[in-house]
């Protein structure tokens, strides 16, 4: 059980990690709180009462006060971010004690464990603005969605943003291959198949291959062709908490895992070659994706069939136009240069991606 006391909201950490403070003499309760801190990736400071120097009480981003210690902290300076933790579900006096010490929340174990783990993890990682999360999906096979996804991620990283590129298409061959990093050390999707609940954002980022100044979550060369929806939800939520940008390369087939990925997007871009059959196929994709994604736009790729241009394709699909995706000349050579899409900042594709991010970040409220 977790309850809220009518009080000022808990303090924002300003994006900076911090150490929670535990105040209790109850050995069993302390063991539980240390276990929950470990699960959240936090190393707490522990005291039996208010720290003598006082700084720990005031500076900690989160204070967990055992119900046994409520009287000992009664005279401490009032502050936000105090949680009174107990075990007796039938003790009505706990609410009075919470008010007396100025607690924001009352939490009873074991029922409130997951809530507390999430709260501790927030202060351990730092709570900032979530990443701007963009999904790229092809209107038909071979539309160039993976190329655009890689180019957007490379451009974001070149601009100094924390960037994570997620390969959500197990049948696509692997974005690490497209980036030239198939042998790079780091975890791939199958390692996260059993993920549930909360995944640490920092631990996720550090575990992934780093290629071209960005992190990549791709597939290995094994037989795994799907990840449970709850694992997709946990991993993408962790990626978003780190801020910056997240680019998700999506398959055209929609299953429960893809639906979870779509639900995490701030916007999606449907890449459509300018030909009638591709527009017809893209219409079916747009109908399915549009049921989950609130902001769906179309990016048109030439050459154009007679009677079509980018605005006409957008009109036929009844979608806002994200722009015309230019051809990357280096990618058309028989033996392409060993650089990923968008790596040359002066290429037409890189310029398209730069303009895309400038507009998307302004719409989202500024730099993440």
Point out which residues pair with 21 in neighbouring strands.
Answer: 45, 63
Q: How far is CA 349 from CA 12, 277, 356, in A?
A: 39, 24, 11
User: In this predicted structure, what is the pLDDT of residue 122?
Assistant: 81
Sheet (strand 82-86) strand order: 2-4, 105-108, 82-86, 63-66, 21-23, 45-47
From CA 9, how far away is CA 104, in angstroms rounded? 7
Kindly list the distances between the CA atom of residue 292 and the CA atoms of 25, 29, 60, 319, in Å, as whole numbers in the listed order. 49, 42, 39, 15
CB-CB contact of 152 with 325 (8 Å):
no
This prediction's pTM? 0.76
The residues, ordered by sequence, that sit 6+ positions from 276 with a Cβ below 8 Å of its Cβ are 305, 308
**What is the reported pLDDT for 195?**
85
Query: pLDDT tens digits for the chain (368 residues)?
Result: 555 554 433 444 444 456 899 999 999 999 999 999 988 888 999 999 888 765 689 889 999 999 999 999 988 999 999 999 999 888 889 999 999 999 999 999 999 998 898 889 888 777 678 899 999 999 999 999 999 999 999 999 999 999 999 999 988 888 999 898 989 999 999 999 988 777 888 889 999 999 999 999 999 888 887 889 999 999 999 999 889 999 999 999 889 999 999 999 999 999 999 999 999 999 999 999 999 999 999 999 999 999 999 999 999 999 999 999 998 766 656 555 568 888 888 899 999 999 999 999 999 876 66
pLDDT number for residue 7: 42
Note the pLDDT of residue 340.
Answer: 87
Domains in the chain, CATH or no CATH each: 21-125 (3.40.50.2300), 132-366 (3.40.50.300)
In angstroms, how far is CA 85 from the centroid of its own chain?
29
User: What pLDDT does residue 6 have?
Assistant: 40
CA torsion sign for 292, 240, 364, 172 is: negative
Residue pair 134/246 in contact by the 8 Å Cβ criterion:
yes
Judged on CB neighbours under 10 Å (0-12, 13-18, 19+), 87 is middle
Pairing of strands 21-23, 45-47: parallel
* Confidence (pLDDT) at 14: 44
Angle formed by the axes of helices 229-241 and 256-263, nearest 10°: 20
What pLDDT was estimated at residue 12? 41
């Amino acid at each position: 059980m977790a309850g809220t006391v009518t009080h000022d909201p808990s303090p924002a950490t300003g994006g900076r990690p911090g150490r929670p403070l535990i105040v209790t003499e109850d050995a069993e309760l302390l063991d539980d709180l240390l276990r929950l801190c470990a699960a959240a990736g936090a190393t707490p400071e522990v005291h039996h009462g208010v720290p003598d120097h006082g700084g720990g009480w005031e500076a900690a981003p989160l204070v967990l006060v055992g119900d046994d210690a409520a009287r000992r902290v009664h005279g401490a300076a009032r502050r936000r971010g105090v949680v009174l933790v107990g075990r007796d579900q039938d003790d009505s006096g706990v609410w009075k004690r919470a008010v007396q010490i100025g607690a924001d929340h009352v939490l009873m174990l074991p029922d409130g464990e997951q809530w507390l783990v999430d709260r501790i993890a927030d202060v351990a990682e730092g709570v900032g603005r979530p990443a701007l999360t963009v999904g790229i999906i092809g209107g038909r096979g071979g539309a160039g969605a993976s190329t655009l996804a890689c180019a957007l991620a490379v451009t974001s990283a070149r601009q100094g943003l924390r960037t994570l590129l997620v390969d959500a298409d197990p049948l696509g061959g692997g974005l690490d291959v497209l980036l030239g990093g198939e042998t790079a050390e780091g975890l791939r999707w199958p390692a996260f198949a059993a993920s549930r609940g909360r995944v640490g954002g920092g631990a996720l980022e550090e575990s992934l291959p780093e290629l071209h100044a960005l992190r990549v979550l791709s597939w290995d060369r094994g037989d795994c062709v799907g990840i449970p929806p709850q694992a997709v939800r946990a991993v993408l939520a962790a990626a978003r908490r780190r801020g910056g940008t997240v680019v998700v390369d999506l398959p055209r087939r929609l299953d429960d895992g893809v639906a979870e990925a779509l639900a995490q997007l701030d916007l999606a871009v449907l890449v459509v070659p300018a030909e009638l059959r591709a527009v017809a196929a893209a219409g079916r994709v747009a109908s399915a994706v549009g049921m989950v994604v609130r902001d769906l736009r179309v990016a048109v790729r030439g050459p154009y069939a007679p009677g079509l241009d980018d605005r006409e394709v957008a009109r036929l699909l009844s979608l806002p136009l994200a722009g015309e995706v230019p051809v990357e000349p280096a990618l058309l050579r028989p033996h392409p240069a060993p650089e990923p899409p968008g790596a040359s900042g002066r290429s037409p594709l890189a310029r398209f991606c730069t303009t895309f991010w400038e507009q998307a970040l302004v719409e989202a409220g500024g730099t993440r």
